[in-house]
Structure 1
Amino acid sequence: MFNEEEVLPLLVQRLRPILDGMNVPYEVVAVDDGSKDLTAVLLQRYHREWPNLRVLRLRANAGHQAAISAGLASALGDYVVTIDADLQDPPEIIPQMLAAAKDDGVDVVYGVRNDRSTDTWFKRASAQAFYKLIGLMSQTSAHADAGDYRLMSRATVDAINSLPEHNRVLRFIVPALNFPSDTVEYKREERAAGDSKYPLMKMVKLSLDSLTGFSTAPLRLATFAGFGGAVLAVLLVLYTLISRSQGHTVAGWTSTVAIVAGVGAVQLVCVGILGEYIGRMYGHMQGRPTYFIAYDSMTAQGADHGPTDTPLPASPHPETIQATDEAPDAATHAARVTSPQPSRLRG
């Protein structure tokens, strides 16, 4: 959640009765993605009233996919459901997801939108076109109407946490694992309160990360465009030589400028595609964490932690987890401090 003070009371009002009525042990990991409003204050209040609510606050806004990754790295459950706080994806189908996972023995249950009438026509059309494009380029079987609302088994979550990728797009990573899956359909609702946190530029960035993260087809496209430009240049040279040998005048500067501009545009596109891939490699080589945890109500330490490859140990006692951060006993510490250093012989 990011700046969701308006919708947060509605989320708790709808989510808690559903989970309490399932008669299974559960935790709710609320990832505050660096909110600037009263989201953090409300979460602390609900945390005192709702023992199963765990608050995970990031140091700064890291982005939607990074926030989900932070939650997956911290969640302890045998099954994990990822859901946005805006209530466009109804939490009422979580019991149905869990039942489908257990009855069918699958690792992933996708929430699929069978009615997107609340979305604009541009969003629906662009989403359909994008999923078709990414499917052709990467052979990824991601469902066009499935977003980030899904249930995953512990094996799936552990597999995702073990991946070294930065700028991961989970809606394509999860299908790429090819674990047994099922779907549950639902109607996508309008946002319960507040404004959308996914403007056009963020959607464009997500699309670029998806294309460059799951397919090398753009690189091949750049290569084919380069070969096409070379063939066109050779044909133009041949045409010029033949025209001159026959005494014909070559066409005017307008056609020349158009050709040069076209070839230059192809070159710039190719360079841009290469730059996207080089940028991803550069970011991966730097190894910078995509998020920093400022506060975790389970440990209540408030120390910075980067993303980990494996989730926290599945212990039912928070104090056991907290004990892993304690300092060594005084005797061990004293032994380290007073340990003599090797002496050096002087000649």
Structure 2
Amino acid sequence: MVASEPALSVVVPMYNEESVLPLLVARLRGVLDALGEPYEVVAVDDGSTDRTSVALLAARRQWPQLRVLRLRRNSGHQPALLAGLMRARGQHVASIDADLQDPPETIVEMLRLAREKNLDIVYGVRADRRADSAFKRWTASVYYRLMRRIAGNDVPAHAGDFRLLSRAAVEALRELPERRPVLRLVVPWLGFPSGEVSYEREGRAAGRTKYPLSRMIALAADSVTSFSAAPLRVATWLGLAGVAICGVLVVLAVVAYFLGATVSGWPSLYVAILFLGAVQLLCLGLLGEYVARIYTAVQARPAYYVAEDTDAAASMVDSLK
């Protein structure tokens, strides 16, 4: 294997991770050096506003396998992860967050399983969620049940973006026309042979979470609207239900008219107007989500722009640019 083709690439998207970076470098380097194989670490700085970029460049002086990919602006977790995957050169490519909640040691298990069983995808799956709050456990359960219903049972439960991909799987991702794919749905959809490695998720090593409730809700919305037209069918069924209810109310209004009780029926009219207005607004909102996606696709803007890649010899062309 030539030096330009490391056995393993590890992609680490990060945004304002200055505080956790020394811990990440020490732990991840120890794990990867012990492999005894050529590797690279692609750290994707997603437009950090703290000293993350400076700290990465300083760490690179002592760690030649560390490659820094700096984006021009904050593009989001999924685009940053995609940028790293598209530029990684390893025969296997692992992705892991910078907060050390997913243990780097598990990457070795993933690589071993992929080689032993000739798998193209190995997911890191959480063994349990006892450390999470009851609300987070419930929302996670709802999310994964919904995703499995939309995208199929190939979507592993309790598996995020901690995974290992073969070069073939990465090249398949490269061929997809989507510019902002939700990788935790698209990767299972590829249909490559896959396996799972369970692990205990740890607490964040340092710093604050970059994935609050608002971003989780946005991820769920993106997951649904980017992978299924089911919400549009929901809008259709709501419209049909509204028509049926209105038909019943019309009958009641006619009966009330002949009984001379039309004035007393105003609550029914009031409720009907509110219901129909809510259904119309909901349907317009759902249509707007899909129209916005069509508009974004027609614009064909890149999901990210790479400002700097410390590997000047990188010959892989980024298909999204």
Asked if TM exceeds 0.5, the reply is yes
Residue 60 of structure 2: aligned partner: 47
Q: Note if 1:240 corresponds to 2:253.
A: yes
Structure 2: distance between partners of 1:176 and 1:258: 43
Aligned-partner Cα distance in 1 for 2:261–2:74: 65
Residues in 2 aligned to 1:214 and 1:38: alpha-carbon distance in whole angstroms = 36
The C-alpha deviation readout for 1:286-336, integer Å capped at 9, x for no partner, is 0011111111001189xxx995259xxxxxxxxxxxxxxxxxxxxxxxxxx
Question: Does the CA-based 8 Å contact 2:151-2:189 persist in structure 1?
Answer: no
SS in 1 for 2:176: coil
Distance of 2:288 and 2:153 partners within structure 1:
23
- Aligned twin of 1:130: 143
In structure 2, what is the Cα distance between the partners aligned to 1:182 and 1:25?
24
Aligned-partner SS, 2:108: helix
TM-score computed with the length of structure 1 as normaliser: 0.85
Q: Give deviations 1:235-282, integer Å, cap 9, x for gaps.
A: 211222233334454643223212210111111111101100110110
Stretch moving more, 86-95 or 225-234: 225-234
Matched to 1:133, the amino acid is L
Partner of 1:121: 134
**Aligned: 1:211 with 2:224:** yes
Tell me if 1:143 matches 2:148.
no
Aligned residue in 2 for 1:308: 319
C-alpha distance 188-137 of structure 1, shift in aligned 2 (>3 A): same
DSSP-derived class of the 1:252 partner: helix
The one-character-per-residue Cα deviations of 1:39-89 (angstroms, maximum 9, x if unpaired) are 111111111111111110111111000000000110000100000000000
Following superposition of structure 1 onto structure 2, how do residues 6-21 of structure 1 map, counting pairs within 5 Å?
6-21=19-34
Partner of 2:105: 92
The count of residues paired between Structure 1 and Structure 2 equals 307
Counterpart selection for 1:162 from 151, 175, 184: 175
Measured after TM superposition, the shift of residue 117 of structure 1 is 2.5
- % identity of equivalent residues: 51
Q: Secondary structure at the match of 2:226?
A: helix
> Could you tell me which amino acid in structure 2 is paired with residue 122 of structure 1?
F
**2:211 matched residue in structure 1:** 198
Partner deviation per Cα, 1:214-244 (whole Å, 9 max, x = no partner): 1111000001111111111122112222333
Candidates 271, 276, 296, aligned match of 2:289: 276
RMSD: 1.9
Q: Compute the displacement of 1:120 (Å).
A: 2.2
Shift of 1:4: 0.5
Partner residue in 2 for 1:338: none
Deviation sequence 1:131-182 (CA, Å, 0-9, x none): 1123223435322210000000011111112212132110111011121100
Distance 1:288 1:309 in 2: 9
Question: 1:162–1:173: structure 2 CA closer, same or farther, 3 Å change rule?
Answer: same
- Larger-Rg structure: 1
Cα distance in 1, alignment partners of residues 151 and 261 from structure 2: 49
Verify the 8 A CA contact 1:219 1:274 in the aligned structure 2: yes
Any stretches of 5+ residues in structure 1 without a counterpart? 311-347
Corresponding position: 1:60 with 2:69: no
The one-letter code of the counterpart of 1:282 is Y
Cα separation, 2, equivalents of 1:107 and 1:300: 27
Q: Which runs of 4+ in 1 moved over 4 A?
A: none
From 62, 68, 90, the equivalent of 1:77 is 90
Q: Normalising to structure 2: TM-score of the pair? A: 0.91
Equivalent residue of 1:56, what SS?
Answer: strand
Task: Tell me the secondary structure at the aligned position of residue 189 of structure 2.
Answer: helix
The alignment status of 1:294 with 2:315, answered yes or no, reads no
Q: Distance in 2 between matches of 1:197 and 1:138?
A: 26
CA distance in 2, matches of 1:251, 1:15: 73
**2:266 corresponding residue in structure 1:** 253
Contact map agreement 1:290 1:307 (CA 8 A) in 2 = no
The answer to whether the 8 A contact 1:27-1:77 is kept is yes
Question: Aligned with 1:115: secondary structure?
Answer: coil
**Aligned 8 A contact 2:110 2:197 in 1:** yes
In structure 2, relative to structure 1, the CA distance for the partners of 1:81 and 1:69 (3 Å cut) is same
Distance 1:57 1:300, change over 3 A: farther
